[in-house]
Structure 1
C-alpha cells in the first residue's frame, strides 16, 4: 500500500473519531476548511449511526434499561474509545462490558456490565454455526466402566456467564411479551447458561455446579473429571438432571471416548 494512501486512511480515521483533528485532512481535500468539515461530518454521523445500530442489535436489554437517547450516547462514546477492528459489524461490541464498568455515568447500575456479558454471549450464540446431527441413543452403547471417560461435544455458541448479580432475572424481565412479576432480588447471584435453539438465543439459570461441569467439559475434560469439578463447587450437584436437560435442550451434539 503506498504511503500516501496509508496516510490518507489514517488521517481520515482520526478525523472521524475526533472532530478537532479534521484539519489533518485539509491537504487531501478540495475546498475550504468549513466545507471539508461539513463533508467529514456526514461520514462521522454515519459511523456513529452504524455503531448505534450494531450495539442496539447486540444489547437490546441494556438499550431498554437506559433508554434509546442515552444508549445512542453510549454507542458514540464506545465507538470513540474502542474503534471497530473488523469489517463485520456483528463483531462490534465485544468489549462493551469493560467499557460500561469504567463509564462514570452508569456507576449507579453496577449490574450493567454483567448484563452486557450475558447479552454478548447471547449475541454470539445466535450467530454460532449449526450443530452437527447425532443420535443421543448412542450414549446407551457405552460400557458403564467407560462412561467416566466420555468427552462431550457441546453445541457451538454454548456459554456460561457467572455473576454476583441477578442477570438472568434482569434479562427475562426485558424480553418481548413478558407480563409476569417485575420484582428483582438485587442481592441474588445468578449464573446463566446461554445457547441457541433454532433461530433464537436462549438464556436459562443454572447452578454453580452445572456451570463448573459445562466449563470443564468444554475445556476437554472427561465426564468423570468434569463431575468432580462440579461437586467441588456444589456438593448437591445432580449429574443426571444436567445431562437430561442437556439432551432434552440439544445442548450436546456428540461425544468421544
Structure 2
C-alpha cells in the first residue's frame, strides 16, 4: 500500500507542477465531469510567481505587475523549481532575461532590467551569506611597516563584485524609497549604458552597496584573488598611471575596506 500511495503522491505532484494528465489519478465529479486540478495548478504557479516577486522586489516594481507576472510565468515554465526552499527560486532569472533580450521576445522591455535583477539577487544573497568576523582599522596598528608588503586579505563571505552594463543605481534607489501606496509613479532617470562594477556586501544585518570607480574595482578583484598588498600597489600604479602614488592609492582603498567592514582576516 505504501508503494501505491507513494506513486499516487508523485503522480499528483507531477500533475500540479508539470501538467501531467490526471485521468487515472483523480475521480471525476459526481455529475460525470472530468477531474479538476486547475485550482491546485493555479495556486502552485501563483505561489512561485510571488516567490520571484519577493526575491526580485525592485525589478517587480520597475516592470509593473502585468509585465513582471508574464516574465515570472515564462521563467518558471522554462526553469521549474528544483530546490526545497523557494528562497532560492530565481537563481537563473537574470540569465533567462538575457536570452529574452537576445530573442527580442518582448518579455524584457529594456536590457537595463537585467541589471536590476542581478542587483536584487546579489543583495538577497549577501543577506543570506555566512557569518564571519570583521577586521577593523585598528588591526593595522599592530603591524610593523615591513609586514605590509606581504599582507593578504580575506573578504567577508557576503562581499560580491557585480558587473553591470547599465547605470541603474539611481533608479534602484528611487524605486526602493518610493511609497508604493502613494498612487504616484516614481520619477526614474533614463537608462544609461555604462559598464562598471557594483560592490555588494552585508554589514551586520544590513545589506549595502556602492558603485566602484575602475581603479578600486581592479584592487578589489586582486584582493579577492588573494594577492598581497605589494601586488595591489602594482595594480594601483598600472591602473592610475602614477607609480609615485601607488602606495597611497592602495592604502586609501584598504582603509575604506576596513571602514566598510569588508574584510574578515589579515594574513
Q: Which residues of structure 1 form unaligned runs of 5+? A: none
- Distance 1:27-1:185 versus aligned 2 partners, 3 A rule: closer
State the Cα distance separating 1:69 from its structure 2 match: 2.4
Give the C-alpha shift of residue 206 in structure 1: 0.6
Query: Against the structure 1 CA distance between its residues 43 and 208, is the aligned structure 2 distance closer, same or farther, given a 3 Å change threshold?
Result: farther
What root-mean-square deviation, in Å, do the aligned CA atoms of Structure 1 and Structure 2 show?
A: 2.9
Match of 1:241 in 2: 252
2:154 corresponds in structure 1 to 153
How far residue 136 of structure 1 moved from its aligned partner, in angstroms, is 3.3
SS in 2 for 1:26: coil
Number of matched pairs? 249
The match for 1:30 is 27
1:67 to 61, 64, 67: 64
| Deviation of the 1:9 alpha carbon | 5.8
The residue number in structure 1 matching 2:217 is 211
Distance 2:64 2:152 in 1: 44
Whole-angstrom CA distance in 2 between matches of 1:139 and 1:65: 43
Contact 1:121 1:194 in 2 (8 A): yes
- Per the normalisation by structure 1, the TM-score is 0.82
Residue 137 of structure 1 is matched in structure 2 by 138
> 3-state DSSP class of the match of 1:195?
strand
Q: Give the conservation status (yes or no) of the 8 Å contact 2:165–2:195.
A: yes
Distance 1:190 1:247 in 2: 22
SS in 2 for 1:162: strand
Deviations 1:23-47 (A, max 9, x none): 2x322333369553x2x32322222
- 2:22 pairs with 1:16: no
Shift of 1:123: 0.9
TM-score by length of 2: 0.80
The alpha-carbon distance between structure 1 residues 72 and 141, as it changes in their structure 2 partners (threshold 3 A), is same
Matches within 5 A, 1:1-257: 8=8, 11-19=11-19, 21=20, 23=21, 25-31=22-28, 35-36=34-35, 38=36, 40-103=37-100, 104-177=105-178, 182-184=188-190, 186-229=192-235, 232-233=238-239, 235=241, 238-256=249-267
> Considering only CA atoms, is the larger Rg found in Structure 1 or Structure 2?
2
